Amino acid sequence: MSERVVVAMSGGVDSSVAAAMMKKRGFEVIGLTMQLSSAGSRCCSDQDVLDARRVARALDIPHYVVSFREVFRKNVIDYFIDEYTIGRTPNPCAVCNPAIKFGVLLDRAVQLGARRLVTGHYARVSRDKSTGRWVLKRGRERRKDQSYFLARLSQEQLGRSMFPIGNHTKSGIREIALKMNLPIAQKAESQEVCFVPDSGVARFIENERKRPFPPGKLLKTDGSALGDHPGIIHYTVGQRKGLGIALGRPMYVTAIDGRNHTVTVGDDHELYHRSLIAAAPHWIGIPHLSGPLDIRSRIRYKHRPALSTVEPAGKNEVLVHFRSPQRAITPGQLVVFYQDDRVAGSAWIDRVAD
């Protein structure tokens, strides 16, 4: 009897090909599509649901739509808004994966008699025979690697996960979709935060909170005032466009103070720092951190992992010190630690430390 698996089908190319691969390998495949947010967002739109259903029909597999709107709002949307309102830049995908996709959706998969959940992530998972730990590895194509967004998964969640496209390139996956005549083979990718409408983050937050966000002062790094800004929710560290100032040279957001509602701007060189403090470390490749460890650290999804040392620093925090200064270390983002292509762990960036 074939092993039953559930595939998280978003209606996109990657998850569709993942489902096709599992069917071809002889698994009994069930497709589940999540409905997570309200109309008007790019997340699980009616078209996405329809596309997933069309693929399931082409593959001759059962397909169901499951609604997790309430738990998604509580765990992801409210978190997203709360972080922006205190001057931090959230990372909703890194929160959604352990709480939603590999949380309540995995629970639903188990209820349907499946031992494992299959997704279209560009990552790889295996078991280290010497330690018995599940290991999360980067995807074969570094440009598409999504291990960063999976770095908060637990050992149990990794053990119940399958990433069949992790050893493939994006162009290769697109080619497989075309060869199999999948109806979404030419579908474009979504690049933005899935639940934020085209009106943008600030408008989304104000609509959700049903009130305008308070304005504040725009400061230079020496503390002098440049004028007013419309609200800290309009800004993130490293931002250049939309500052509303003209000083004769490019200026960038260097810091956001949620308590005092101030935004500080400076020159590009003022964005570079050597150290950061990160909270709530979570370990995958190692059981715990007992002392300084030389490692490569990645401070955002598009950041190239940089040589660094990570060490314990106070209660439930780590200090990360880079060999060379890194640009735009951003509170609220995830720092992910790598040993070669393995994810050692991750932590939430709290503040720069130099």
Determine the 3-state secondary structure of 347 from DSSP: strand
Cα–Cα nearest to 18, from 55, 51, 50: 55
Catalytic residue, candidates 43, 44, 93, 194: 194
- Ramachandran quadrant class, 130 (left: phi over 0; alpha: psi -120 to 50; beta: rest): alpha
What are the C-alpha distances in Å from 155 to residues 96, 110, 111, 136?
Answer: 17, 16, 20, 10
- Active-site choice (43, 44, 93, 96): 96
CA distance 86 to 195: 20
66: β partners: 34
Q: Are 271 and 256 in contact (CB under 8 A)?
A: no
Task: Note if 96 is an active site residue.
Answer: yes
Residue 281 burial (C-beta neighbours within 10 Å; 0-12, 13-18, 19+): buried
Q: For residue 127, what are the contacts with CB-CB under 8 A and spacing of at least 6?
A: 133, 134, 135, 159
The SS3 call for residue 124 is strand
Adjacent-strand bridge partners of 134 = 127
Q: Which residues contact 110 (CB under 8 A, 6 or more apart)?
A: 160
From residue 188, give the alpha-carbon distance in Å to each of 11, 33, 53, 92, 275: 11, 18, 17, 21, 38
Q: Check residue 328 and give left, alpha or beta (phi > 0: left; psi -120 to 50: alpha).
A: left
Q: Which residue has the tokens 């020159």?
A: 267
* 151 contacts 94 by C-beta, under 8 angstroms: yes
CA 288 to mean position of chain CA atoms: 23
- Residue 159, token pair as written in the block: 């053990």
Tokens of 30: 């069930």
Active site residues: 96, 194
